[in-house]
Structure 1
Amino acid sequence: MAVAAPRTVAETDAPPSGGRPGLTLIAVCFGLFMVGLDSTVVHIANPAIQADLGASFGELQWIINSYLLALAVFLIPAGKLGDRFGRKRLYLSGVAIFAVASVAIGLAGSVEGVLVFRALQGISAAMLMPQTIALLRATFPREKFGMAVGVWGGVSSVAIAGGPLVSGLLVDSVGWEWVFHINAPIALIGIVVGALVIKETPKVVEGRLDLVGVVLLALVLLGVVFAVVQAQVWGWGSAATIGIFAASAVLFALFVRVESRVEFPLLPLGMFRSAGLSVGGVVFVANFFAMLGVTFLITLFLLNTLGNSTTRAGVLMLPLSAIAIPAAPIGAMLTAKVGARRVAALGLVLMAIGLALLTQVDAGTSYWRMAVPFVVIGLGSGFAIPSGADLIVGGAPVHLAGVASGFQTTCIQVGGAIGTAVLSAIIAAKVAPAVLGAGLPESAQEAAAAGVVFEGLPAVSDAFVGGLHVGLVVAAVLCAAVAALVMVAVCEPARHDVATVLEETVEGSAGDL
């Protein structure tokens, strides 16, 4: 099959408008590094936050999900606002708000305060992320844009991979608050450098912002995740749980109706005629359902069940996160050689195998029986990301490629939020009867669901590990099912070169518009 010409948003942009490309790249990497770091540091810090502030198991989930949901909901609107009001302005504003929210999390002194400022972190991350790649596109000449994309992806990968270790060191040495406070000096330097070297881009006004679509999508996402999390307390068959799910379904139908009629929709429905784009979105949902959901539970297992220090837990998690650094470029090369369809399916199958292998791990097994599956899962995820991006961004019409990128990043956040909620619900359902059977008060269920060991009551810990295994099986089955869907539903799309696949991956990760 002939290699298709690259199809990216950059082709439709105006020529670079001057500025200092190298310095601009350095400037946007400060904001990028903060967001990448905060996507993984919180998992290691969560048990310390729970111990200090008395957070419930459900609140621990919301510390992660409030960030993911805010980022998912505001990502596409923030990209459009950058076009309207200036990308430099919105980027620097996002960095500043992210820093303020980070400091406020450490000073909040209550779980409610942490949740509010975590959501604000998510909003500010949505403000700055689309602008990073847009500023690079506006500054770098086309022939050097691929190099900038490589640096962008490298900085993001290093930040994500180093998050657990950085978090462990900070929690052990100066307290969990510094997991967030560390963003302040990074942001301060980034704002000063950005203000001096970034050149503002021309403002683009293209139709009205679909505020009704934004509100409806926000309510749908919030409703689904809230119902899954609260079902652990209310029960899956309760009127409240069923009512919220039903209301979310009605709101989603209304969202589809609005998007089909509004002149400038938030999410043009016509682009979903492409099977590759639609299934590519499912690839990202399944990928991050497994990655973020399992990471949340494995971290609790390492810290609370096995009793590791936060620093040691961060080191033990490195095989899962650090493998992403070489895996994504390898996945891009494979995508260019054999096609996105096969590589996406291969990546998800590898994830399913790694997740299945993890079910052999319990409190008494060797760490190496955990480390090898970590590498397999991370490698599979690294393969699925660039191939999924090629299905989505490469499969979209040129004029909708930017919106497709935003759709991709929304799928990442939604998949992570739902994965965390669903797998946590499985754990909670598994430990509840064990806690009552052991004669412990009902209030002990929260600690048991977080993997805390009760001396002399091994049945409770066994229930947590059993719930972890069930969650791993659910994630593995989902990945395997989506791999089959990719092979059945998607015709092999035109193959792009490695540089184009990497560019699509970066644009999708930034939610670029």
Structure 2
Amino acid sequence: MSVVTPVRALPAPARDVRSNPWLTLIAVAFGLFMVGLDGSVVAIANPYIGADLNATLPQLQWVTNSYLLALAAVLVLGGKLGDRFGRHTFFLIGVAGFTVASIAIGLVGSIEGVIVFRALQGVFGALLMPNTLGLLRAVFPPSTFGRAVGIWAMVSSVSTALGPIVGGLLVEHVNWESVFYLNAPIGVIALAFGAWVLPKSKNSTGHHRFDIAGVVLLALGMLAIVYAVVQGESWGWGSPKTLGTLLLGVLILLVFVLAEKNLEHPLLPMRLFRNRSLAIGTVITAVNFFALLGTIFYVLLYLQNVRVYTAVEAGLLTLPLSLASVVAAPIGAALTDKYGPRLTMPLGMLLQAVALLALLRLGVDSSYLTLWPSFVGLGLGTGIVLSASSEAIVGNAPVKDAGVAGGLQATALQLGGALGTSVLLSVLSGRVGSTLTGELTAAGVPAPLASGLHEAKDAVAQGVAPTPAGVSAQVQSAIVEGSAQAFVNGVHTAVLVTGIVCLIGAVVAYVGVRRGATPVETPVAH
């Protein structure tokens, strides 16, 4: 009689956490959230930094500009380094460096130190941001990549939206340094979780010389263009300095393009732009953030300086915009998956255009009911466009260039945002300057005084009414009324310009993008 020994089934091997793309998404979301939150809280913290560190206005501007310049110069390089040497590695380096630089800003104790560490934040942010999308492109199959991008866009929207609220609470109830210390716990979580779950993802192209010339040319070109943009309002957009710096940047970038065409392993492969969806998506990303950040900038001035809400109240009042963008991001991704970016990018742009043009009804004493429908429309349009353009850019790039494509998208985003705040503030200021004297006179300010107050147009362009000494309460009330109306005139002009830009963006997206989206490679992380 034979005895059959039962064979116990071996336990199934535990699945490696590094092979789970959704854990990768959670990990990159922490880093993305940190950078997005930091970008919007700084605007709230700037006045407090200036007062505490006795900073001049130009120094305070450099707290923002040093970050923007460093970010613009390094974003594509950050993506390229990730593609070649390891996306997970450079994401984690970016997280660690951004966290340390944030803590250093709070500890340094001088405006010069804040400016230097803000620039370092920009460098490490440029290593982090493009590799978030690069990692997603490398680990998600085409069937679920759009959904992942929708969640990525949602996280970006949430973090940017929470900035004014969180920043307002911290600067009012703790101190401005706490705005930057907040990055420490988020950064530690992002670093620990990312080190645990992120797969080793890169696309090595073998041993060859790195494109150093391309790095230098692209950095110099982007520095020149972004510097001209951020200085354009103070220099004057038609001044020789502004035009000369812009022209220099464009010429350097032309040399960069010509040089890259002849290289076997370029920093930014020009072949990417043969894909029309990718090329148009890059343009629409810039237009999207031109409209969003420019509009938020002058709407917050209106709420705080004209309607006299606190920073926290103003942040809460913009919450419908944030919530709408959060809802719209996954919807935009789903629609893009089904119909392609040829539908979703124009749809988002049209929503933004309608929402912006509706703000032409805004007056000095308008109720909140005038604002919130436009906030909802702008948020819906932003979320849809962000998802659609991100998938159009990164989803249509080969996996081996995913980080570079992420850097390209992030560069367009930052450049569009910088243009939005600078150009629209200049448009607003120009309209304020041309109508201020007339509005003051119409409000009851004596003509000689109204003419003299024209010198205060820069303050009025920020929604602040001048307070000349020795005038009666009645005249001061008239100055406040006339100044507020001049500011609203400027808002109307800025809104009109932005709405037209969005309409042009909708047409360009519809005409330029072909039907369907064609991510062609199955991702492989290695």
Query: TM-score by structure 1 length?
Result: 0.82
Alignment check: 8 A CA contact 2:146 2:336 kept: no
Alignment check: 8 A CA contact 1:61 1:420 kept: no
For structure 1, the residue ranges without an aligned partner over 5 or more in a row are 1-15, 505-511
Cα displacement (A) at 1:298: 1.6
Match of 1:483 in 2: 506
- State the Cα deviation string for residues 203-252 of structure 1 (Å, max 9, x = none): 83544332222222222222223223333333333332232122223212
Match of 2:11 in 1: none
**TM-aligned CA distance change 1:439 to 1:115, over 3 Å:** farther
Matches of 1:27 and 1:272, distance apart in 2: 30
Cα displacement (A) at 1:192: 4.2
**TM-aligned CA distance change 1:148 to 1:289, over 3 Å:** closer
**2:489 maps to 1:470:** no
Match of 1:375 in 2: 376
Matches of 2:116 and 2:361, distance apart in 1: 38
Query: Which segment drifts farther, 338-347 or 140-149?
Result: 140-149
**2:299 maps to 1:283:** no
Alignment check: 8 A CA contact 1:327 1:383 kept: yes
Amino acid of the structure 2 residue aligned with 1:255 = F
Amino acid of the structure 2 residue aligned with 1:294 = T
Cα displacement (A) at 1:311: 1.2
Alignment check: 8 A CA contact 1:80 1:209 kept: no
Query: Which segment drifts farther, 346-355 or 187-196?
Result: 187-196
Q: Percent identity?
A: 48
Match of 1:418 in 2: 419
Match of 1:439 in 2: 452
Cα displacement (A) at 1:315: 0.3
Alignment check: 8 A CA contact 1:274 1:395 kept: yes
Match of 2:466 among 446, 450, 454: 454
**2:237 maps to 1:214:** no
Match of 1:45 in 2: 45
Cα displacement (A) at 1:359: 2.5
Cα displacement (A) at 1:55: 5.8
Alignment check: 8 A CA contact 1:98 1:125 kept: yes
- State the Cα deviation string for residues 71-96 of structure 1 (Å, max 9, x = none): 33322212332345544443332222
Matches of 1:141 and 1:277, distance apart in 2: 18
Cα displacement (A) at 1:138: 6.8
Alignment check: 8 A CA contact 2:158 2:322 kept: no
Query: Which segment drifts farther, 53-62 or 445-454?
Result: 53-62
Matches of 1:334 and 1:141, distance apart in 2: 17
**2:355 maps to 1:332:** no
Matched ranges for 1:290-305 at <5 A: 290-305=291-306
Matches of 2:350 and 2:512, distance apart in 1: 16
Matches of 2:369 and 2:451, distance apart in 1: 32
Counterpart of 2:361 in 1: which secondary structure?
coil
**2:312 maps to 1:306:** no
Alignment check: 8 A CA contact 1:68 1:416 kept: no
Counterpart of 2:309 in 1: which secondary structure?
coil
Cα displacement (A) at 1:128: 2.1
Amino acid of the structure 2 residue aligned with 1:450 = Q
Amino acid of the structure 2 residue aligned with 1:183 = N
Match of 1:168 in 2: 168
Alignment check: 8 A CA contact 1:162 1:322 kept: no
Matches of 2:235 and 2:145, distance apart in 1: 51
Cα displacement (A) at 1:177: 2.4
**TM-aligned CA distance change 1:493 to 1:239, over 3 Å:** same
**TM-aligned CA distance change 1:248 to 1:28, over 3 Å:** closer
Matches of 2:89 and 2:402, distance apart in 1: 24
Amino acid of the structure 2 residue aligned with 1:388 = S
Alignment check: 8 A CA contact 1:328 1:383 kept: yes
- State the Cα deviation string for residues 107-151 of structure 1 (Å, max 9, x = none): 455554433322221211122234445556777899998887676
Alignment check: 8 A CA contact 1:285 1:411 kept: yes
Cα displacement (A) at 1:347: 0.9
**TM-aligned CA distance change 1:104 to 1:449, over 3 Å:** farther
Query: Which segment drifts farther, 123-132 or 133-142?
Result: 133-142
Query: Which segment drifts farther, 142-151 or 220-229?
Result: 142-151
**TM-aligned CA distance change 1:28 to 1:480, over 3 Å:** closer
**2:44 maps to 1:32:** no
Cα displacement (A) at 1:254: 1.2
Match of 1:270 in 2: 271
Alignment check: 8 A CA contact 1:336 1:495 kept: no
**TM-aligned CA distance change 1:131 to 1:384, over 3 Å:** closer
Alignment check: 8 A CA contact 2:146 2:391 kept: no
- State the Cα deviation string for residues 151-208 of structure 1 (Å, max 9, x = none): 6555444323322221221122112322222112222343344455656557835443
Counterpart of 1:158 in 2: which secondary structure?
helix
Matches of 1:120 and 1:410, distance apart in 2: 17
Query: Which segment drifts farther, 394-403 or 173-182?
Result: 394-403
Matches of 2:192 and 2:387, distance apart in 1: 33
Amino acid of the structure 1 residue aligned with 2:452 = G
Matches of 1:113 and 1:446, distance apart in 2: 28
**TM-aligned CA distance change 1:92 to 1:78, over 3 Å:** same
For structure 2, the residue ranges without an aligned partner over 5 or more in a row are 1-14, 438-448, 468-475
Amino acid of the structure 1 residue aligned with 2:246 = F
Cα displacement (A) at 1:494: 4.3
Matches of 1:428 and 1:109, distance apart in 2: 33
Match of 1:508 in 2: none
Matches of 1:463 and 1:149, distance apart in 2: 42
Question: How many matched pairs?
Answer: 486
Cα displacement (A) at 1:371: 1.0
Amino acid of the structure 2 residue aligned with 1:286 = V
Amino acid of the structure 2 residue aligned with 1:462 = Q
Matched ranges for 1:348-427 at <5 A: 348-396=349-397, 400=401, 402-427=403-428
**TM-aligned CA distance change 1:411 to 1:135, over 3 Å:** closer
Query: Which segment drifts farther, 297-306 or 38-47?
Result: 38-47
Cα displacement (A) at 1:329: 1.2
Match of 2:75 in 1: 75
Match of 1:101 in 2: 101
Counterpart of 1:39 in 2: which secondary structure?
helix
Amino acid of the structure 2 residue aligned with 1:124 = F
Cα displacement (A) at 1:400: 4.5
Cα displacement (A) at 1:475: 1.1
Matches of 1:171 and 1:382, distance apart in 2: 28
Query: Which segment drifts farther, 288-297 or 246-255?
Result: 246-255
